[in-house]
Chain A
Amino acid sequence: MLKGKNLLEPMDLTVQELEELFATADDIIENPEKYAHCASGKLMGTLFYEPSTRTRLSFTAAMLRLGGEVMGFSEPASSSVSKGESIADTVKTVACLADMIVMRHPKEGAPRIAAEHSRVPVVNAGDGGHQHPTQTLADLMTIRKYKGRLDHLTVGLCGDLMFGRTVHSLIRALSRYENITLKLISPRELVLPEYVRTSVIEKNGMEYEEVRRMDDVLPQLDVLYMTRVQRERFFNEDDYIRLKDTYILDEAKMNLAGKDMIVLHPLPRVNEIAQEVDKDPRAHYFDQVQMGMYMRMALIVKLLGLEV
């Protein structure tokens, strides 16, 4: 039962609960009209302590498409938060007004505090570099939708594997499925942290390989998950330019990949995927945005226990 639960990190959901969400999302895609009014009379409170237009729009679209309403703030400057109100007090107040709370916060663990003080479900919409569970839901749904399965896959993760929280969450989520092989593609400076390798990959007996060049593994991949290589991670401009170009996906690289490989990216991209790749039928990073919305719709339906 998902009704009344909080979603603070991807592993809060069991594999069965994930299946329930995928099935609901599938049904929403098939029969949108069936769900168009199911959240009528329900109100979502969106507490965005830092701006994230993309995530806020996705949650808002999800709620509106279910016939519900949304209220909240998109940056703390415009709210009582700027007057120094505690998270606990803000959440207690909003929980009296709304049926669920969606929170984005720059501090790690803030949504857990919200959950402790809320009588309605709390969904973490990103807490600093810590967790962003609905992004993982979008990633899983996209893989499942376009590959037809979440097991028996060779997944390439490319770019900044050290600081990329979406990558860590995805690895953790995939560790519960059978026969996943990971190809970790990154510069030496941005390799996957040791604790993820030992406490997730090795602990679950996942097969993996660390490689420096995308070209070496592209033909083997079922899924290529691209991430941003952020400028601020580097000490100097030369390193940045040298490294970022190694991890740019373009048409020439796509020619090395199998015809059934799919390309994902959590977006926004900088330049790690050349625009020419967008028209390639294997590019699914914009479909991923849509899958994210469908999963958020499914999540709202289940957390609120809506009747359809």
Chain B
Amino acid sequence: MVIDSIKNGIVIDHIKAGRGMTLLSYLEFDNEHDTVAIIMNASSARRGKKDIIKIENVKGTAVDMDVVGLIDPGATVNIIEDEVIKAKIRPTLPKRVENVIKCRNPRCVTASERGIRHEFVLNDAEKQQYRCVYCDEMVSMQEE
């Protein structure tokens, strides 16, 4: 399958197969205006199979690196300008994330209180495990 390379924009490569859609949903692009392509189960030398996301005509800052790191720290983000890779960024697991994931504990105050910041801190990097700062509920991003 051939997908046109993009002239200007962002290519998120080496996404673990099956994680592309999840990552895309967290990245919150402008559905009406951005041109977005997702390729699933492409073959990869590094990961066997991988997903790829391409977004045309957006700046590098359009991608929240913390979100990429949270969903798949193994992905790479390529910034393309005039068909040239200007930058290749490897995300890292963020120490804390705000308003990206929500707490699943129904007894957590964030489930009922309006206008609240949803804040998680990294608890265990190996397990990609985050902890809700309010109720201490754990969430593993490997299973999200």
A109 and B115 contacting across the interface, CB-CB below 8 Å: no
Is A72 an interface residue, CB under 8 A from the partner?
A: no
Shortest distance between the CB of A49 and any CB in chain B (Å): 10
Is B2 an interface residue, CB under 8 A from the partner?
A: no
A109 and B110 contacting across the interface, CB-CB below 8 Å: yes
A108 and B135 contacting across the interface, CB-CB below 8 Å: yes
A interface residues, tally (CB under 8 Å): 15
A128 and B107 contacting across the interface, CB-CB below 8 Å: yes
Is A110 an interface residue, CB under 8 A from the partner?
A: yes
Question: Known contacts A108-B134, A130-B136; is A87 also within 8 Å of B107 by CB?
Answer: no
Is A14 an interface residue, CB under 8 A from the partner?
A: no
Which residues in B have their C-beta under 8 angstroms from that of A129?
A: 107
Contact with A along B61-86 (1 / 0, CB 8 A): 00000000000000000000000000
A107 and B112 contacting across the interface, CB-CB below 8 Å: yes
**Cβ-neighbour of B116 out of A113, A127, A128, A130 (below 8 A):** A113
Is A132 an interface residue, CB under 8 A from the partner?
A: no
B109 and A109 contacting across the interface, CB-CB below 8 Å: yes
A107 and B109 contacting across the interface, CB-CB below 8 Å: yes
Which residues in B have their C-beta under 8 angstroms from that of A87?
A: 109, 113
Is B46 an interface residue, CB under 8 A from the partner?
A: no
Is A52 an interface residue, CB under 8 A from the partner?
A: no
Is A29 an interface residue, CB under 8 A from the partner?
A: no
Is B125 an interface residue, CB under 8 A from the partner?
A: no
B interface residues, tally (CB under 8 Å): 16
Contact with B along A6-35 (1 / 0, CB 8 A): 000000000000000000000000000000
Is B132 an interface residue, CB under 8 A from the partner?
A: yes
A86 and B115 contacting across the interface, CB-CB below 8 Å: yes
Is B108 an interface residue, CB under 8 A from the partner?
A: yes
B107 and A88 contacting across the interface, CB-CB below 8 Å: no
Is B33 an interface residue, CB under 8 A from the partner?
A: no
A88 and B108 contacting across the interface, CB-CB below 8 Å: no
Which residues in A have their C-beta under 8 angstroms from that of B110?
A: 109
Chain B interface, >50% SS class: loop
CA distance A128 to B114 in the complex (A): 18
Which residues in B have their C-beta under 8 angstroms from that of A127?
A: 109
CA distance A108 to B105 in the complex (A): 9
A107 and B133 contacting across the interface, CB-CB below 8 Å: no
A109 and B135 contacting across the interface, CB-CB below 8 Å: yes
Shortest distance between the CB of B136 and any CB in chain A (Å): 7
Residue in A107, A110, A112, A127 whose Cβ sees the most chain B Cβ within 10 Å: A107
B132 and A109 contacting across the interface, CB-CB below 8 Å: yes
A108 and B107 contacting across the interface, CB-CB below 8 Å: yes
**Cβ-neighbour of A130 out of B112, B114, B133, B135 (below 8 A):** B135
Binding site for A on B (CB under 8 A): 105, 107-116, 132-136
A-B CB contact pairs (8 Å), 27 listed: A86-B113, A86-B114, A87-B109, A87-B113, A88-B115, A105-B109, A106-B107, A107-B107, A107-B108, A107-B109, A107-B111, A107-B113, A108-B105, A108-B107, A108-B134, A108-B135, A109-B108, A109-B110, A109-B135, A110-B109, A112-B109, A112-B133, A113-B109, A113-B113, A113-B134, A127-B109, A130-B135
Binding site for B on A (CB under 8 A): 86-88, 105-110, 112-113, 127-130
Other than the given A109-B108, A112-B109, 12 more pairs (CB < 8 A) read A86-B113, A87-B113, A88-B115, A106-B107, A107-B107, A107-B108, A107-B111, A108-B135, A109-B135, A113-B116, A113-B134, A127-B109
Q: Please list the 10 inter-chain residue pairs (A to B) with the smallest Cβ-Cβ separation, ordered nearest first.
A: A109-B134, A108-B135, A107-B109, A109-B109, A110-B109, A109-B135, A108-B107, A128-B107, A112-B134, A108-B108
